[in-house]
Amino acid sequence: MSGARGLGWLARREVLRIYKTWTQTVLAPVVSSILFILVFGLSLGSRIREVAGFPYEVYIVPGLIAMAMVQAAYNNNSSSIFQARYDRFVHDVLSAPMRPWQMNLGFNVGGMVRALAIGLALLALAMPITGIGVAHPFALLLAVALGLVLFSAIGIVIGIFAETFDHSTFFVNIVVLPLAFLGGVFYSVGQLPSPWHELSLVNPVFYLVDSIRYGFLGASDVSPWLSLSVVAALAVPAYAWSQWLFTSGRRLKA
């Protein structure tokens, strides 16, 4: 019972961090993504009529939602665990009557909640603007869940190993963002010539974007089951790594 109460307390704390600064944690990413839809989708939509049979402003929505959500999940967890280490607050968590999996889950909840809040807000705004719907709800939920597990866990791992705050932001700015932009957010990878098409298939973020696009539109560049399998194959070891760090206390007890 004490472990469950501790998990609830830790998860509540992580969610309150988001609520207290909602203009930065939720509103700002939503506004920037909506601007992408308005600027790229509606303005270029008059020149790029269709992509894969869909209006351009509709086609880019799933990728933009995916990009905003994974950034939020990563940024939230990397900054949260880094701040907990910097302020020595993590020592209080480690000494609490909680199991390591409860500590790991408690810290991961914040990133997932923040990402879901952003994703739902973007969808609510994008629906009346573009008319986008959800073709395969189950596939969409599975893709979103795997993507959030993956990037929430990566945020925990990077936040634990980071020596400075710049180290945690380096990964998202130098790795995640370029991979997202090159992962088919604004275009169909299937239309790329060789060797760019083959290189795109090496990009792990492409499979997340493609699986989420399939959930929304029912169309994808590769098999949706292949995309979901690739994301799952990355998410499981990433979460296991974050779990091992809490179990071993590596770099947390220093």
Task: Report the C-alpha gap between 235 and 214 in whole angstroms.
Answer: 19
Enumerate residues 6+ apart whose C-beta is below 8 A from 95. Answer: none
Structure confidence by residue, pLDDT tens digits, 204-227? 999 999 999 999 999 888 999 999
Task: Report the C-alpha gap between 192 and 202 in whole angstroms.
Answer: 14
- Per-residue pLDDT band at 36 (split at 50, 70, 90): confident
pLDDT of residue 49: 67
Distances in whole angstroms, Cα of residue 20 to Cα of each of 14, 109, 150, 165: 10, 16, 25, 21
Q: What is the average pLDDT across 230-238?
A: 96
| Helices 61-86/100-130 angle, 10° precision | 150
Q: CB burial class (10 A; 0-12, 13-18, 19+) of residue 89?
A: middle
pLDDT of residue 2: 64
Q: 75 versus 164: which is more confidently predicted?
A: 75
Verdict on whether the full-model pTM lies above 0.85: yes
Structure confidence by residue, pLDDT tens digits, 105-145? 999 999 999 999 999 999 999 999 888 889 999 999 999 99
Domain boundaries of the chain, sorted by first residue: 2-248
Pick from 130, 146, 162, 116: nearest CA to 54: 130
- Tell me the residue ranges of DSSP E strands in 4-106: 50-51, 54-55
pLDDT of residue 77: 93
